[in-house]
Each structure stands twice: as C-alpha cells, then as structure tokens.
Amino acid sequence: MQIVRDVPALREAVAALRAEYGTVALVPTMGALHAGHVALVEEGRIRAGAVVASIFVNPTQFGPNEDLDAYPRREAADARVLESAGCRLLWAPDVAIMYPAGFATSIGVTGVTAGLDGAARPGHFDGVATVVAKLFNQVRPDVALFGEKDYQQLAVIRRMAADLDFGIDVIGVPTQRDDDGLALSSRNAYLTPEDRAAARALPRALGEAAAAIGKGEPVEAALAAAHRRLAEAGFDPIDYVSLCDAVTLEPIATLDREARLLAAARIGGARLIDNLAVNPPGDRGTV
C-alpha cells in the first residue's frame, strides 16, 4: 500500500489506480481505526476497483472544549490495518497541506444540521463539510463510504454532494458493534472498564425505544423512557434522544415514514452517539 502526503503525489497515484483498476472508492477517516473502518474498506472493494483511504484529524470540526489534542493518533498501526483490509493507497496529509496559509473558505449545509449534533456542537458540520469537500476534490473518487453510526454526518455529506454536483455515490455502511451491542467508535478507548459496562445502556435504551415506537406506542413516552434509562446508567449530560425523519432529520412525533432514532450522551471521558432505523409497522425492515 502506497502512502502519499502531498496533493501532486496523490493525483499521480490515483491516476495510476484508475488506469489499473478502473474505478476508485474513498474511505475518509480520522485514524484510530477499528473493525468499523475495515467494513468501510471491504464495502469499497465491492463497489470499486481500488480503495483509497485518508487519515486526517480535522481541527475545524472540533470545538474549543473538545478532544482535538487528545484524539488518538497511530498512523503506523492504522496503515497496517488498511493494508490488511485491501486498501491500495493511504492519503495522509498534515494540517499545512489541508489548510495552507491564507485558507479562507468554509462550506455550510443548512437543514440537516439544524438539530442534534448541529445544535450540540456549533460549527462542527461546517468543518466536516469543508474537509470532505476537499477530500472529494483531491481524490475525485467514484464512490465514498461513511459509517451509519455518524448518521447526521452521513446526511450532511449526502446533501452537500448532491447540492454541489460532485457526481460521487455516497454510501452508508451499517454500524458495526461489539458483542455487547456498543457501537464501535474511536472514542470508546476513553472509557474505563466501569464506564464501558455502563455504556451498554445506550444501545439497549435505543433498542427498547425503537421496539416500542415500532409497536405503536407514543413517541414522546418512548423517548422519555430512553432518556431515563440513560440517566440511570450514569450518562450526563444527555444531549438528545430524538426520533427524526430519516432523510431530512426533522424531529417527528408520529411514526408515519422512515425514521431514525438518534441519541448522544456523555459517560466518563467519552461522548457517545448511536442510532437505529425505525420504520412504520408493515414496512420492510421495521424494528
């Protein structure tokens, strides 16, 4: 697997991959890779001839009190993971390459960023949209893959890619989970064993709420029950537990369309997010 760190070398390497393999998939990451990222690479190999992954810890999507400095960085180990998964090229720029002196452009996506993490983390999705737009322009992939665990991020990128005519197929890959149900996340490394045991309440609370809503129970009551369960498990603060339209992410009070149940809450040293699909009774895939 080749590793490149500047844009001219990247363009040359991607052109060589296209000449040999025809199509290119992009898997953007911030490193600290786990089985969820491997699933993205594996799906990329199905969707395209060659997979390019990026590792870049993007400072513009971190708030002033968030974990930019503490975010795990382990490029050598991550490169081994990518190579074993069948990735052909690693794009690993530094901050000076991505945001050179004089950089003054930001991309904002409205609508799908209005609530949830958009409200809890002001400016976060501007940073996400800007860096992903740069990655799309740098690599120029045919397809790009993102995990459904970061469901609002996926919605933002889909909206941006459509609105700006990137011509890239943005694919969501189902959330990968540990045996205890907790969604795989780089931030799980911040959890103590005790916090990790308590954190299992998050997927369980969402599963119970999704099942209740799917059976026709009032949405407000199901969300309140999930909120209580998270509080009892020690999550604090609980930023949101919300049922939203699966496309627009507008909050909904009645399950009359494809929906997503989303939550974000902090336990110990980690802010965790998770989500589940919830569909009206009778629809394929009903939880």
Query: Which position has the token pair 């190579």?
Result: 83
- CA-CA distance, 104 to 162, in Å (whole number)? 23
Residue count of the chain, please give it.
287
- CA-CA distance, 87 to 172, in Å (whole number)? 18
Residues in Cβ contact with 109 at an 8 Å cutoff, skipping those fewer than 6 apart: 125, 126, 129, 156, 159, 160, 163
Residues in Cβ contact with 176 at an 8 Å cutoff, skipping those fewer than 6 apart: 34, 35, 36, 39, 147, 149, 183, 184
| Six-digit token string for 173 | 């890959």
Q: Which of 56, 80, 85 is nearest to 68 (CA)?
A: 56
CA distances from 64 to 27, 69, 98, 121, 187 (A): 27, 11, 20, 10, 17
Q: Are 278 and 255 in contact (CB under 8 A)?
A: yes
Residues in Cβ contact with 187 at an 8 Å cutoff, skipping those fewer than 6 apart: 67, 270, 271, 272
Q: Among all residues, which ones are annotated catalytic?
A: 37
